[in-house]
Amino acid sequence: MAMHTRIDGEATGRLLLIDRDDACAHLIADTLGQCLGASTAITVATGGRQAAELLRVNAFDIVLADLPSLADLSERSDDAVTRLVRLADGALVVALADGASVSAAVGAMRAGAHDYVAKPVNGPAMVARIGELAQRHGKGRALNIEAQASEGLSDFAGFIGSSSAMQFVYEQIGRIATSAAPVFITGESGTGKDVCAEALHAKGPRANKRLVAINCAAIPRDLMESELFGVARGAFTGAHEDRKGAAELADGGTLFLDEIGEMDLSLQSKLLRFLQTGTLSRVGEAGVRRVDVRVICATNRNPMQLISEKKFREDLFYRLHVLPIHLPPLRQRPSDILVLARHFLALYAAEEHKAFSGFSNDVAAMLASSEWPGNVRQLQNLVRRLVVMFDGGEITAAMLASADIESRGTVVAEPAPVRGERRPAVLPMWQQEQRIIEDAIASFGGNVSLAAAALEISPSTIYRKRQGWAEMAVAS
């Protein structure tokens, strides 16, 4: 029989919890009941068939479904979720899965579930997650839960933000940090994957040892192996002494492999062997060395796509993808945008010894409504530009427009020429690149360093390209 959690007063929302484990179901229902209060009635079903019967005669706002408990609805978990989503008729569907059942949870999302949450369930984090989903997916009936979400941490180990999305990330880091298992961080560029790695290290038992980071995209392929595993004296010309690699330097601590998707396939096999055996050999060395490190890796690319394109070993992926963390893009946590902007404004104003009073209302609205394709890094760069370019006071719309190079540089497509009309000349790539760089330098009053920061390249790159353009001009 279904269990109904009775509440005092009139309920404005209805939640269906599906879990065949009676003790677990009561625990989750009690925990959510304490967080939601009298605003939501909770009904518990012990299996998929019972849940289907309830959904046929009742309208629910949220459905929380333990995946193994749906086995009586269909042998295939994905098919069971598809049927459940269809019966739920627009309700938010969240899959509950054991922490080790990540692949099943992802399959549930492909089948139509809005999200998944690892068990055991944390009440406040779960409520915050539901509130965020309700807002994101426009489920008006469940929006009352948004107001019930408890206030969480506004900053955590280098992260800034109190949105439900970040509360979920903080909870994941807290749980995962104490383990020695590999962590696989995904997220768009600028979402803070390096901050996440540092937080995992700082919150774990290896915090008193070193965190050694290596960017797999920034090091040439022919140097990557020596940077990772070290070099023996005489291994090649110029190797005058033994040198430890990142893995040895991190012994007892944490090895962070950023942009792991850019690693060369030949080195991926050696990394896999290192993960399997815990041993390595320096370049040019016959013997092996035992190293104890916790490996954290990150990528801003889709690892499954890399695997399908034969650019990433599938066996290495599953060796690394033990404890996954996904960092949400800034556009999915709009409540954090102004919090971050104010934090950066105070930080950089103090560095530059300037006094800013904040953002005007129209600027705050613009910031909150922007998409931020570069995520937190883009916002950070914009605020820093504002602080450097202006003397203080309140940030106005005119100041924002002057500093927001990214938006100003957006290319607008021109209409196709009429038949017989001559097409405009297309400049060579180097000349288009020159125009972009020179425009950026002009925007900062000739300051090459600021222009380089805005374009996310090094000042030396600009000087080198300028020299090349001068040589082209002389040659022509």
260 lies in the same domain as 178: yes
How far apart are alpha carbons 227 and 202 in whole angstroms? 24
**At how many degrees (to 10) do helices 459-475 and 429-443 cross?**
130
435 lies in the same domain as 301: no
Tell me, what CATH number does 301's domain have? 3.40.50.300
Could you report the per-residue pLDDT of 368-392, keeping only the tens digit for each? 888 898 999 999 999 999 999 999 9
Max avg pLDDT among 181-190, 236-245, 435-444: 181-190
- Given a cut of 80, is residue 101 above it in pLDDT? no
132 lies in the same domain as 145: yes
Could you report the per-residue pLDDT of 54-85, keeping only the tens digit for each? 999 988 888 999 988 998 888 788 888 889 98
pLDDT band at 294, cuts 50/70/90?
A: very high
321 lies in the same domain as 337: no
Helix (H) or strand (E) holding 97: strand 92-98
Say which amino acid occupies 100.
A
144 lies in the same domain as 230: no
Could you report the per-residue pLDDT of 446-469, keeping only the tens digit for each? 666 666 766 767 666 777 777 666
336 lies in the same domain as 271: no
CB 150 within 8 A of CB 127: yes
305 within some domain: yes
From residue 384, give the alpha-carbon distance in Å to each of 161, 388, 442, 458. 19, 6, 18, 17
From residue 337, give the alpha-carbon distance in Å to each of 161, 281, 361, 395. 8, 46, 14, 15
Can you tell me whether residue 349 is helix, strand or coil? helix
Tell me, what CATH number does 397's domain have? 1.10.8.60
51 lies in the same domain as 102: yes
What is the per-residue pLDDT for 259?
Answer: 94
47 lies in the same domain as 96: yes
107 lies in the same domain as 177: no
Tokens of 294: 């916790």
277 within some domain: yes
CB 21 within 8 A of CB 62: no
How far apart are alpha carbons 204 and 190 in whole angstroms? 24
230 lies in the same domain as 321: yes
What is the per-residue pLDDT for 135?
Answer: 58
What is the per-residue pLDDT for 155?
Answer: 75
422 within some domain: no
Helix (H) or strand (E) holding 220: none
Residue 166 neighbours by CB distance under 10 Å: 26
Mean pLDDT of 200-217: 94
307 lies in the same domain as 171: yes
183 within some domain: yes
296 lies in the same domain as 339: no
67 within some domain: yes
Question: How many domains does the structure of the chain reveal?
Answer: 4
Range of the domain at 84: 3-150
Q: What counts of helices (H) and strands (E) characterise the chain?
A: 21, 17
How far apart are alpha carbons 413 and 311 in whole angstroms? 34
414 within some domain: no
End-of-domain residue from the set 286, 304, 326: 326
- Given a cut of 90, is residue 297 above it in pLDDT? yes
Mean pLDDT of 242-249: 90
Mean pLDDT of 141-145: 47
417 within some domain: no
Could you report the per-residue pLDDT of 14-37, keeping only the tens digit for each? 889 999 988 888 888 888 877 776
* Side-chain-facing half-sphere of 108: CA atoms under 13 Å: 30
